[in-house]
């Protein structure tokens, strides 16, 4: 009994220390780690956040492995990355050890593109094997690829629901199974899950999307515990949960107009820069803006009717309806053009 009491006291002290260290990191930002020369796989790299992640990692001299289902958009991202590499390729000088000047060798750019449908398990495993042969071991995995069906549940074809679940959630299982074994062997790596605030709390009209993001977060959290249980301290996990990002994915989504100036859609560049800070400082989770942390906490303690009341006040209960209406109109117009 004395041993249990002592261990419990130690746990309390560790918990308090965790609060202290976490608070210090909010005040004094930790030094960012270097990812120069590390192999970074980014899914969904052809547009949106994936493209911005690629550019940020390129500026930090990482070796980029870009995955996307669209070959053309993926190559466009690769070309942007090469341009960044070209700017880094210019020889520079720095102060030498004894007051002299030494030239820093130019950076050797490396970017690889692969057409991969992460919604197809065999395609993921085959592409991963190709990456291992042609590039080498993967150090950083950014699970970013995502889709949205844009239909009310009862109007959404089953195929689109399945596609949303597979791309947004199941694909994380397959990419992780492909690259994690070597990370465990080397005790080195970083896995990033790009989820959404809609994986922490939901809203009406996007049941399949919310379910897929809740699933991705559940997978990420369980995997984080498994890695901790394996005592592989060299492998880090970062969960990215942004509020609505202005990438066009949810075009038309709006909260109450009087509230929107205080909580506008996030600029993609801001979202990625905040996420990069979290990744490079081994932060376990990043929510942008920070009010998302508060909303998630309130959801866990408030009665459901209180949450509904707040949603209605903010206009969050039907914020997706304009987006869904636009999607439906676009689909009807497309069918009319095709003579359906």
What is the average pLDDT across 136-158?
A: 95
Domains and CATH numbers, the chain: 34-88+105-337 (3.40.50.720)
Cβ(190)–Cβ(62) below 8 Å = no
Q: pLDDT tens across 106-141, in order?
A: 556 699 999 999 999 999 999 999 999 999 999 999
Cα gap 82→79, rounded to integer Å = 5
Interatomic CA distance for residues 239 and 216, integer angstroms: 10
Active site annotation includes 243: no
Mean pLDDT throughout 228-245?
95
Please provide the average confidence, as pLDDT, over all residues in the chain: 89
Give alpha helix (H) positions in 151-290.
158-165, 171-186, 207-229, 268-280
User: Which DSSP symbol is given to 214?
Assistant: H
What tokens does 109 get?
């750019």
Closest CA relative to residue 170, chosen from 206, 212, 220: 212
Query: How many Å apart are CA 328 and CA 164, to the nearest integer?
Result: 17
* The pLDDT of residue 199: 94
Q: What is the pLDDT of residue 90?
A: 59
| Residue among 114, 209, 243, 311 flagged as catalytic | 209
Give the pLDDT of residue 4.
Answer: 75
pLDDT for 98 equals 43
Instruction: Say yes or no to pLDDT of 226 above 60.
Output: yes
What does the alpha-carbon distance between residue 159 and residue 149 come to, in Å, rounded to a whole number?
10
Q: Taking residues 8-19, what's their average pLDDT?
A: 72
Residues in the chain, total: 340
Distance, in Å, from the CA atom of 77 to the CA atom of 72, rounded to the nearest integer, reads: 9
Model pLDDT for residues 44-78, shown as the tens digit of each residue: 999 999 999 999 999 999 999 999 999 999 999 99
Find the radius of gyration of the CA atoms of the chain: 22
Average pLDDT for 324-335: 72
**Res. 102: pLDDT tops 60:** no
């Amino acid at each position: 009994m004395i041993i249990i009491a002592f261990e419990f006291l130690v746990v309390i002290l560790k918990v308090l220390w965790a609060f202290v260290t976490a608070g210090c990191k909010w005040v004094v930002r930790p030094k960012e780690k270097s990812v120069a020369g590390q192999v970074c796989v980014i899914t969904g790299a052809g547009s949106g956040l994936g493209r911005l992640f690629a550019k940020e990692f390129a500026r930090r001299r990482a070796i980029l492995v870009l995955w996307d289902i669209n070959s053309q958009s993926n190559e466009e991202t690769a070309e942007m990355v090469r341009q960044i590499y070209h700017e880094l390729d210019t020889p520079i000088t720095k102060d030498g050890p004894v007051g002299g000047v030494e030239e820093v060798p130019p950076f050797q750019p490396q970017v690889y593109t692969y057409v991969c449908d992460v919604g197809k398990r065999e395609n993921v495993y085959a592409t991963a094997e190709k990456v291992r042969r042609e590039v080498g071991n993967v150090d950083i995995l950014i699970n970013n690829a995502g889709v949205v069906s844009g239909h009310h549940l009862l109007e959404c074809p089953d195929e689109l629901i399945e596609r949303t679940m597979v791309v947004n959630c199941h694909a994380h299982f397959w990419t992780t199974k492909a690259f994690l074994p070597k990370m465990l062997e080397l005790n080195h790596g970083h896995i990033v899950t790009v989820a959404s605030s809609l994986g922490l709390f939901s809203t009406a009209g996007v049941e399949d999307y919310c379910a897929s993001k809740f699933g991705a977060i559940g997978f990420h959290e369980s995997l984080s515990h498994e890695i901790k249980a394996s005592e592989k301290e060299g492998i880090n996990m970062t969960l990215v949960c942004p509020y609505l990002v202005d990438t066009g994915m949810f075009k038309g989504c709006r909260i109450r107009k009087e509230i929107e100036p205080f909580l506008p859609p996030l600029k993609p560049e801001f979202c990625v820069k905040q996420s990069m800070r979290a990744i490079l400082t081994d932060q376990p989770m990043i929510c942008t803006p920070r009010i998302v942390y508060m909303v998630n906490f309130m959801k866990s303690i408030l009665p459901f009717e209180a949450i509904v009341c707040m949603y209605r006040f903010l206009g969050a209960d039907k914020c997706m309806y304009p987006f869904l209406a636009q999607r439906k109109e676009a689909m009807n117009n497309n069918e009319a053009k095709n003579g359906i």
